[in-house]
Amino acid sequence: MTKKRIQEVVEETDEGTILFNVPMPRNVELLKDLSPIIIKQSYHIDYIHSYGQDSPWFAGLANKRLLGTRCQKCRYGFATPKLSCMECGGECDWVEMPLEGKVHTFTVCEFGSEEFLKETPFLLCLVEFEGFNTLLLSRLIGLDPKEATLNWVGMKVKAKFRRNSKFKPTDVYFVPA
């Protein structure tokens, strides 16, 4: 089994000295031995992201209503909305979703992409709903991340909504029912 490991390297941090000049040999033939110059470049973008045809779903969350869609032709139900049916190509209508479902699967994120690092550990789950064919990815709240167990799969959960909508899919989240 594993021996306890003691950290052998110092922590690498992101800040650094700003470079204004570098050594340069008189003999240019030596330049191939020069270490690479590595600089830090900032890159920030504000996107103008439209939810397009999915916009009513976010409007629904702001009004504490969870919406899905259902195909007019084949009756396939989408718990994550799709206005175009992926089964038959038909057009779907908006429908109200049940506010209770079951945990289809979940995970505890101890790590994440940069934007969500500060929120770790957090729980993600896929929720299944009676009468709907697809699932919804959401946050699962109210469980101890340290106690993760397969028994959480199948657990009944209910939807809750943020009071102040941020018009993001995290405006809805699920807690044990």
Positions that interact with other proteins (CB under 8 A):
1-2, 14, 36, 38, 41, 43, 49, 51, 54, 78-80, 82, 86-87, 104-117, 119, 122, 124-126, 133-139, 145, 148, 150, 153-154, 168-170
Give one word for 142, left, alpha or beta, with left for phi > 0 and alpha for psi -120 to 50: left
- The minimum distance between CB 78 and other proteins, in angstroms, equals 7
- The minimum distance between CB 123 and other proteins, in angstroms, equals 9
- The minimum distance between CB 126 and other proteins, in angstroms, equals 6
- The minimum distance between CB 111 and other proteins, in angstroms, equals 5
